[in-house]
Amino acid sequence: MDVQYRLRGGMPLQGEVHISGSKNAVLPLLAASVLSDGEMVLQNVPRIRDVEAMLRILEYLGAATSFSPEGTVRVRTDRLRSKPIPEELVSRLRGSIVLLGPLLARFGIVEMAYPGGCVLGKRPIHAHIAGLEQLGARSMGNETMLHLQGTLQSQRVVLPEFSVTATENVLLAAALLPGETRIDLAACEPHVQDLQRLLSTMGAHIEGMGTHTVFVRGKTTLQGVCHRVAPDYLEAGVFVIAGLVTKGKVRLKGVEYEHLLAFLDVLRRCGGVWKYDDQEKTLFVDGELSSLRAMNIRTNIYPGFPTDLQAPMGVAMTQAKGVSRLFERMYEGRLAYLYELEKMGAHVEVLNAHQALIIGPTPLKGRVVASNDIRAGAAMVLAALSAEGETTVTDVRYIERGYDRLDEKLRALGARIERVTVGEQERREITQKAITRAVVGTV
């Protein structure tokens, strides 16, 4: 069975949307429950597949969990034990890697199959291993299983790169270690800072939040607390672009301006019209008044332009006047969505695995397109919203791993979007029709 979105474009989006809690923040926050001696309560949790997958892993290890319709998760880990986590639980959730640090710190051993998730080129885990080894762990894994064990001690840790999840793993481990751990080359993305705030509330003392050098003075016992998950700035970015490419007027509630600084600066310079209310934490996007011009995007570590907003911005480039340039620094597989955009009529020149040109504006046409990963899937939805005719976006399981009820939120803004489940035979027929239409279109 395949879940798909079917959309008809050309409708300006209008109205208000509330931004959900951060997908990238909530997974390490759930991992922090491993360190707690009481109940952990997380509010503003997005209802996405990755959260459900992480809860299943915690339950497999012995945790008691609940997830209310209002977005509150409760976790108790007093009966937790460390045991090998099988492939079927981690194969679709790369974020499960953040369990290495807390399980190792609490039990002295952690074993799991190699995590899966989106295919974005090579995403090695050497930074995780290097960070935890500097705390005293021994790596004893093989080609199919990760296996770390040892008694950890607070130390100076120099990460080999600005890895978000490796930083989170070392933070989680250090929070349970007495003494001071210094982390150099730490990532400082908003979701990393949200984890630091949670660990501080639980009882760890953390200095250097939001910087690349962080000091953690841990405690052997951390308390269960109530914490509200930070808003998802990546979801907010998608709705900003949705307003622009449909020439609509959209008001986003619950947005942290500082999290979107580089992104919004690019939009302002290329002709996007928006206004932010700091007191209300509200961002208003006026696509009707906007007139997009060519832009140059170079993704970078925070506070640079987010790699996770590169694909959505690629869609905006198709509607911008002139030659736009993309430079994806992080992942060599992250430009694959451009071939899907080409099916819809976009004028794209892929220079290499990291660079491309997009010439616009070009009218997009409805087609059958695929979701290559979470962010590329959101980009195809944005393209469909601005396209003429009907677009079918397949493999939306990727989208639903990272976006909380995206179809419902868009429908509330006036988008003509339908979520459908199709069988294998129907999926093949849709694919064959798409191939035939594409071949006829090139004759």
Task: Confirm if 292 and 316 have CB atoms less than 8 A apart.
Answer: yes
Kindly list the distances between the CA atom of residue 197 and the CA atoms of 184, 194, 208, 230, 240, in Å, as whole numbers in the listed order.
18, 5, 11, 10, 27
Task: Confirm if 336 and 342 have CB atoms less than 8 A apart.
Answer: no
Q: Which residue has the tokens 């700091």?
A: 278
Range 202-218 burial, b when 16+ CB lie within 10 A, else e: bbbebeebeeeebbbbb
Is position 270 annotated as part of the catalytic site? no
Task: Confirm if 216 and 175 have CB atoms less than 8 A apart.
Answer: yes
Query: One of 118, 188, 226, 270 is an active-site residue; which one?
Result: 118
Q: What is the DSSP letter of 326?
A: E
Residue 239: both structure tokens together = 């709705």
| Contacting residues for 367 by C-beta, under 8 A, at least 6 apart | 343, 344, 387, 391, 392, 434, 437, 438
For the CA atoms of 61, 64, 68, 71, the dihedral, rounded to the nearest 10 degrees, stands at -50
Give Cα 436 to chain centroid, integer Å.
34
Radius of gyration over alpha carbons of the chain, in Å?
Answer: 22
Residue 121: both structure tokens together = 């080129």
DSSP, collapsed to helix, strand or coil, labels residue 195 as helix
DSSP, collapsed to helix, strand or coil, labels residue 331 as coil
Look at strands 282-286 and 296-298 and give their pairing. Answer: unpaired
361 strand-pairing partners: none
d(CA 17, CA 26): 20
Q: Please spell the DSSP secondary structure of 94-121, one letter per residue.
A: GGGGGGHHHHHHHHSEEEEEPP-----S
Choose among 145, 53, 170, 118: nearest CA to 378.
Answer: 118
What does the chain come to in residues? 443
Give Cα 221 to chain centroid, integer Å.
30
DSSP, collapsed to helix, strand or coil, labels residue 425 as helix
For the annotated catalytic residues, the residue numbers are 118
